[in-house]
Structure 1
């Protein structure tokens, strides 16, 4: 066999390596397309949609008596000091003045309808809308919805620039989004980022499934649009999470699908009607899940069913865990109000509940959420008895105590000693409504239920503290 010279052999190895590399490159490209093709260019989007974004300024006339009330909060010594010795520049006794604020918004129709946040225009006496071409138009408040923080304005005009409305339901986590607004009064400022999460619930907002983004939002951006890469509005920038008062990387926008539903109701009725179930609910934690026999924490635990509510008429009971509503799974208790709120009053809804370990389906005719938030949330034997197993002493509740808390039965906790009840958080003065799903109709009934408790495991106790019901998980051993 003829041998290759060293130089020829070296060249052969180079050629073979090159061909192998080409083969690997080809097969790699066939296996997967690149996930990211490059950074987006927002210039065309801003040029096309920017003119529909407006600045909103408001003036609120603060009356003399309102200012007087504020001054009365200042200690008397300081008031006298300022009045007698305060020179130029010192605080003076109140006079009528104007409070001004700035925000953003966007045009949704060529004849002048403008969408913004309710908190931008709340209690304003004058509202002015300034367009990108610097025209200033006086605005009329058509309607506002405090629950969703949405307000609809109207200015007089024709052939005004209009923002394209998209769908927040089609928005995906990780998708690029862009905001246009007036942070700190800087007109037509553009910031961009991605969708961080969808369906976020905030403690102060029960009816809005917020879009979370990392788009820079600051005071003045409120009410401005959030665009997708197609130039469509997918949200209304509303809130930030901040410990400093400025942007810290977490922003929240109201989904445009919800906003447009609110707009249609405000146009037609001037207010928004929401569905109401009439229950007080709480989160299911790990201990409560164990006490109710769940394999994992999920659902909304019903701590109280309000008297005369749709839930009571539909057969919902305290201790039910609502895990589904009209086909939508309920993982967290905060998800339930938003789904209920979307149902029109008078329509039927199907609830999936877990009761005594079994899954049931209930049909409830949804009611109208009362305008008064407090109304939406409200809807004797002497002697003592001891229960060493839990560390509790109780007595019968009087009729007044039950009526005050809007409950039908319960026993009052008179003493809490070391034991499962103390560790769970039960306190003296609490009204124990149910224990291990059994109604506490009397101290005698309480003693019977305690005597029948297992030696170990976790049981649920429903208490009512100052009118607020809450389930607690008692670990027996």
Structure 2
């Protein structure tokens, strides 16, 4: 089971696997899961994956340090530290009578040998049909017939608060069951942009990676995959891959041994309250396009920086994290409509889904008084030719210093490169000043920046000089 750890606001992904016997909430413990466990335990398997260590030969200097007498009896690598074979354990479940098994990619990744132990104690060596790192799904195959299978459910019907149960092998304790409830749906995790995780409070511990998550009807609705933890152990936050996502991956792995997913070619960010006002949105929702990557479906479709994508193929977008999940599952080659808000007006663009490589309305704000650009409290300078070449831009200004003020409140940091303000390109410092002096007062406007080479749009709200005097 992978672990998503939090330390000083940082997310770290580690390896963990899970499930021990405990009920987390009274609502879940009140449900009698005994029939469910009895009917489905036979289709749950224990997985052992091993990889032989790569033993490197000692260098010439290291060989010279070994006395000849020891070389004669023990060989040239005597005294060298020996790497141990790597072994990992996890869980899985049978999805077809002829021996196809689903588990997590991180359970079997780089394994030389995978052994599956069935409920009847048989141990069979498995072939790895294919793996997909992005979704953390692996498809295995064992040579057996008439095997017990699980029933596949529909995660879309799952509701927050409903009871769920997991079966797996925590710390080697085979066929342990734990129960809990659905805590949330469609969770996006760092570095996991293609999976809308199901969050539960089911107890997850090392050994259950790849095990099934059941609903109260005995249907598999997810694969237990990760936990969120500061300690490395269970802390009440577990995440499962929706079974429909996993089955789509499995079908592609079965058909060709690899997975292709949809690709648009944009960098997007969430829309906060100020950006919603800046772009004329009724509420903070949608995916704000911070960058359009050249020669991609996004560029061909006519998407522009500053567009707010509000719907994909008729499905509304609330958070920017929902967009890559939708596009990733779209059929490659399909022509799909995108609804965007541009200059305060909705438009519909059509783009053709490509395969992922490698694998504002101005009437809303007050305009009384002049904008007080001194309230930005920043110092800026022009980019030199070397910086322009390195960043591949033809203009912009570098933020040298930021003190308390409007810019700091908007999230501007020293080192940021400001490329556009209110949709207008900035070549040098005089452009920034000229544009800032014409901004609407008391109304948020977008500012396109580069931070550590990545585009980021911030919302700047300048107050009027008259308003500032009254405040003081």
Are residues 1:411 and 2:396 paired?
Answer: yes
Within the candidate set 29, 33, 39, 1:48 is matched to 39
Q: Is the 8 A contact 2:135 2:194 kept in 1?
A: yes
Within the candidate set 353, 358, 362, 2:340 is matched to 353
SS of corresponding position for 2:245 = helix
Report what 2:200 is aligned to.
Answer: 213
Are residues 1:461 and 2:452 paired?
Answer: no
The alpha carbon displacement at 1:415 in A equals 3.5
Are residues 1:223 and 2:214 paired?
Answer: no
The alpha carbon displacement at 1:59 in A equals 1.0
- Mean alpha-carbon deviation: is it higher for 252-261 or for 157-166? 157-166
The alpha carbon displacement at 1:428 in A equals 4.3
The alpha carbon displacement at 1:215 in A equals 1.5
| CA–CA separation in structure 1 for the residues paired with 2:261 and 2:106 | 20
* TM-score scaled by length of structure 2: 0.80
SS of corresponding position for 1:241 = strand
SS of corresponding position for 1:340 = helix
Report what 1:343 is aligned to.
Answer: 330
Within the candidate set 265, 285, 299, 2:252 is matched to 265
| CA–CA separation in structure 1 for the residues paired with 2:427 and 2:198 | 46
Within the candidate set 410, 413, 420, 1:424 is matched to 410
Are residues 1:115 and 2:106 paired?
Answer: no
Are residues 1:302 and 2:293 paired?
Answer: no
Report what 1:81 is aligned to.
Answer: none
- 1:37 to 1:124, Cα distance in 2 relative to 1, 3 A: closer
Question: Matches of residues 52-201 of structure 1 in structure 2 within 5 Å?
Answer: 52-65=43-56, 93-201=80-188
Deviations 1:294-322 (A, max 9, x none): 33211111111111111111111111111
- 1:427 to 1:234, Cα distance in 2 relative to 1, 3 A: closer
| CA–CA separation in structure 1 for the residues paired with 2:103 and 2:28 | 34
The alpha carbon displacement at 1:434 in A equals 1.0
Deviations 1:82-127 (A, max 9, x none): xxxxxxxxxx842142121110001111111110000111111111
SS of corresponding position for 1:190 = strand
The alpha carbon displacement at 1:223 in A equals 0.3
| CA–CA separation in structure 2 for the residues paired with 1:395 and 1:59 | 56
- 1:405 to 1:59, Cα distance in 2 relative to 1, 3 A: same
| CA–CA separation in structure 1 for the residues paired with 2:408 and 2:30 | 57
Within the candidate set 462, 467, 472, 1:476 is matched to 462
Report what 2:273 is aligned to.
Answer: 286
The alpha carbon displacement at 1:64 in A equals 2.5
The alpha carbon displacement at 1:358 in A equals 1.7
- Mean alpha-carbon deviation: is it higher for 317-326 or for 363-372? 363-372
Q: Is the 8 A contact 1:410 1:432 kept in 2?
A: no
| CA–CA separation in structure 1 for the residues paired with 2:353 and 2:119 | 44
The alpha carbon displacement at 1:174 in A equals 2.3
| CA–CA separation in structure 2 for the residues paired with 1:365 and 1:132 | 46
Number of equivalent positions: 405
- Mean alpha-carbon deviation: is it higher for 216-225 or for 283-292? 283-292
SS of corresponding position for 1:184 = helix
Larger Rg: 1
| CA–CA separation in structure 2 for the residues paired with 1:104 and 1:300 | 37
Query: RMSD between aligned alpha carbons?
Result: 2.5
Deviations 1:194-239 (A, max 9, x none): 2222211112311111111222111111101111222221111111
- 1:97 to 1:438, Cα distance in 2 relative to 1, 3 A: same
- 1:67 to 1:191, Cα distance in 2 relative to 1, 3 A: farther
The alpha carbon displacement at 1:411 in A equals 1.0
Report what 2:226 is aligned to.
Answer: 239
* TM-score scaled by length of structure 1: 0.79
SS of corresponding position for 1:350 = strand
SS of corresponding position for 2:229 = coil
The alpha carbon displacement at 1:41 in A equals 2.3
Deviations 1:266-324 (A, max 9, x none): 01111111111111111112222233233321111111111111111111111111111
